Chains A and B, each alone.
Chain A
Amino acid sequence: MGKKFVIFQIGEGHYAIPLTEVSQIIRYENVTDVPTAPPFVDGVINIGGDVIPVVNLRSRFSLSTAEITRKNRVIILRRQDSRYGVLVDSVREVLDLDEDSIAPEAASVFGMKTEFVRGIAKIRDHVLVLLDIFKVLSTAPEVPIKEQGEK
């Protein structure tokens, strides 16, 4: 049985996170700057009275910053009572992936450290990295997510 995944892009990389972890996908709008937050936190947004941090995955992945375009999306994730937003370059699609089309990760892909990767799948011409997104979010700011920055 297939499981649904949200596929998004950051730089050249295609990433997937389970749809069950996603609560909504919105445009990058009304993000309030928080000066005391770590650099990879773009700010906060107010969703239904809750104040939700928006993590810039580009900067968390040590990529150069890019201007916000109309393709940018904020994926709102929910885990238990907490919600998080992650800013991605674009959201591509929602895909059904069969369990057996997912290979447990073997080596680092796009320079991602293996502990943040749940598995790898090949879709058409792309390699999809199944991301352990909550692990990315809960890891201390000093710890890089990638072995090195992408060119």
Chain B
Amino acid sequence: MTFSGLDEQKLLRAFLEESEELLEKLNDNLLQLERDTSNPDSINEIFRLTHSLKSESALLGFVRLSGIAHRLEDVFDGIRSGTVSLSRPLMDAIFSASDLIHEIIARISIGKSDEEIDSQSVIRELKQLAGLAPEIGTEGYGAAAPDRSERADEGGLVLGDFEYSQIMEALERGEKIYELTVMVSEEVELKYPRAYLVFNNLEMIANVIQTVPNMTVPQEDQLYRQLVVLLSSELDEEEIYSKACSVDLIERLELEVWDKTSIQDAVSASRGEETARAVAAAQTPSASRIEGTSIRVGTNKLNEIWQLVGELTIFKAQLSQLHDNVARQKGNESIKGEVERASDHLERITTEMQQAIMGTRMVPIAVLFNKFPRLVRDLSRKLGKNVDLEIHGKETEIDRTIVEVLSDPLTHIIRNSLDHGLEGPEDRRAAEKEEVGHIMISAHQQGGQVVIEIADDGRGLDVDKIRQKAGIASEVSDEEVIQTIFSPGFSTKEDVTDLSGRGVGMDIVATRIREELKGEVEVRSEPGESTLIRILLPLTLTILHSLVISCAGYYYAIPVQDIDETVRVLEEEIFKNKGSEVYSYEGNEMPLLRLDSVLIGPSEDQQNRRREHNGVVVEQRRGRVCLLVDELVEEEDLVIKPISELLNHRRLFSGVSVLGDGKIIFILDTARIMEIIETGGFDAI
């Protein structure tokens, strides 16, 4: 990265994006390290991460941030080389430092500087606990000092991160950067004091950024025959020059003003070297390196593009219609061919574009899961519980709008597991369980759905208490009883906090999942053994793989995820049972619904009924139902739009979509249809 070519805003944005990724990795690795304090991979990775954070932030002039990162880097350098041992208090201090880094980056991202943050106490604690040597000189020179003196042999300036930040600050103040080279006369017996005089003179009128050799720690006297000073000052060249000249027995004196190019060169030269060193030292295994790059895009921007793609799809259909018309006409064979090719081409592009845009909406669920290790760690320590968290299926992809809504409910479930589900160590011992409690979070894709499970091996739900509080009759099975924790208003009932607390807020969680995300949630529990909460979510809220059907001359769609199977239903397989029709299928009876009678009204023409029907068996948590339709038209990925209240007063539809040819299609809300059947049929609404 160079800073002269890019404007600062861009640089800052890039920094924030990078640091977000970086912090996430840092967090992951810290948690991993805590579990296995001797894991060399984690140690190396953290060293590498803190190193790059130090460099990146220094480049942008975030001195505090860079300072903390630098300290962490030192600590991990020490751990790596075995001079620092990783104690529990030190681990805590490292976590606080990482929190502070989070806080600072959050401040930076809202346009604030890092200067009001007090980093000293954290840094002090880190140094103390790690037993690092007190540093020499100003902050930032400490640990790296031996390196610098080593390289002073070569006589050149080596710019570290603090040097960059000083340069940046100086430039911002409008100062110039000078490089002054002084040759102390060969005949001078003690060269260091001579060089020191020059250095001292300059210190009085300018800000000395670096000297080679180091002036604060005297080195072998011969080294001071040549002194290179990098300094910044608002004074012009003559004044600097004359001040430096006022010392006698100086053989030669060169003053060079650094322009942008030379700053850039110096920076990239030493940065490249440093980075190379760090990488080589860390010997990072390739698997833990950064996978791919990313930028952040606002969801509204994506939606805008999505909208345009939708319009394009419709236009594509119009064009292919036009093409069909042209094809029917006689003559113009060459034009027909061209139109056909153009139409095909557009079709291919549109389809690909649709898929690509759909892809941008999907994010790995890791963006959500990654915050849980920290949550579990902090909460379990607060509660004095010993918890092991396992996460599976992080790579499962899900629509980003779902992720946004899912974050709170999921956090709530995990908190509940920790707080109320898992017992404390003593209770666990008493119950002859392993002292360490386990929580497992997993995600995987199943058909058109994402399944998320949160399991714990805690005390489970107290079915009897729930039954009692909710006033449920004894013939209802335990399995059904525990589902009532999701019933609206359950947690507002009195004394509910006693129910191992598991019900608290679960109704709100369920409402969000069911209504906002069109998902499902269920719970299973073995008393004294475990609790499992399973959430089923659509992959995306905007695209639904659906079966288009026709019914009485109109088109509707049924989400494929709701469909169990499609069947041929003979009229003689339909029976009346207590006034409703049922379909006898493979020895089982299930409710049957003639869709046309629901959508259009009761069929007046009984004689005209066909002997054979297309049936769609839909399955929901409530059970199964067979819907009779006219034709099964096709399966299609539909872009779902919200439906106006005016068109949906019976709430039969969950959305509406426009097909490629402009045809408007309503998406049937099968859960609602089931609910209506259960609660007394369609005559009631």
Contacts and interface: CB of A to CB of B under 8 A. Distances in A.
A binds B: yes
A48 B311 contact: yes
A53 B658 contact: no
A38 B645 CA distance: 11
Nearest to A48: B311
Nearest to A34: B647
B681 interface: no
Nearest to A36: B599
B314 interface: yes
A53 B664 CA distance: 11
Interface string A1-18: 000000000000000000
B599 A35 contact: yes
Given A53-B644, A84-B646, A137-B646, A35 B600 contact: yes
Interface in A32-60: 32-38, 41, 44, 46, 48-53, 55
A35 B552 contact: yes
A41 B643 CA distance: 14
Given A38-B649, A46-B658, A46-B664, A52 B644 contact: yes
A53 B647 contact: yes
A51 B656 contact: yes
A49 B664 contact: no
A33 B555 CA distance: 11
A53 B646 contact: yes
B650 interface: yes
Nearest to A82: B644
B124 interface: no
Give the size category of A's interface with B.
20 to 34
Nearest to A41: B646
A141 interface: yes
Contacts of A53: 644, 646-647
Nearest to B663: A32
Interface string B280-314: 00000000000000000000000000010011001
B585 interface: no
Interface in B431-477: none
A32 B644 contact: no
B662 A51 contact: no
A36 B653 CA distance: 10
Give the size category of B's interface with A.
20 to 34
B157 interface: no
Nearest to A138: B645
A52 to B, nearest CB: 7
B176 interface: no
B664 A44 contact: yes
Contact of A50 (B641, B652, B666): B641
A35 to B, nearest CB: 5
Contacts of B646: 37-38, 41, 53, 55, 84, 137
Nearest to A45: B664
Contacts of B657: 51
A48 B670 CA distance: 28
Contact of B664 (A32, A35, A41): A32
Interface string B653-679: 100111000111010000000000000
A44 B314 contact: no
Given A48-B307, A49-B314, A36 B641 contact: no
Contacts of A84: 644, 646
Nearest to B650: A36
A68 B495 CA distance: 64
A51 B664 contact: yes
Contacts of B554: 33, 35
Contacts of A141: 649
Contacts of A34: 647, 666
Nearest to A55: B646
A48 B71 CA distance: 57
A49 B646 CA distance: 18
B658 A36 contact: no
Contacts of B656: 44, 51
Contacts of B647: 34, 36-37, 41, 44, 51, 53
A46 B662 contact: yes
B600 to A, nearest CB: 5
A34 B653 CA distance: 12
Interface in A100-151: 137-138, 141
B658 A49 contact: yes
A53 B666 CA distance: 13
B307 A51 contact: no
Interface in B419-434: none
A92 to B, nearest CB: 25
Contacts of B664: 32, 44, 46, 51
Top 5 closest pairs, chain A to chain B, by CB: A49-B310, A53-B646, A51-B656, A53-B644, A32-B664
Given A34-B666, A36-B647, A37-B647, 4 more contacts: A49-B307, A49-B639, A51-B643, A51-B657
Interface of A: 30, 32-38, 41, 44, 46, 48-53, 55, 82, 84, 137-138, 141
10 contacts: A32-B664, A35-B599, A36-B647, A37-B646, A38-B646, A44-B656, A46-B664, A52-B644, A82-B644, A84-B646
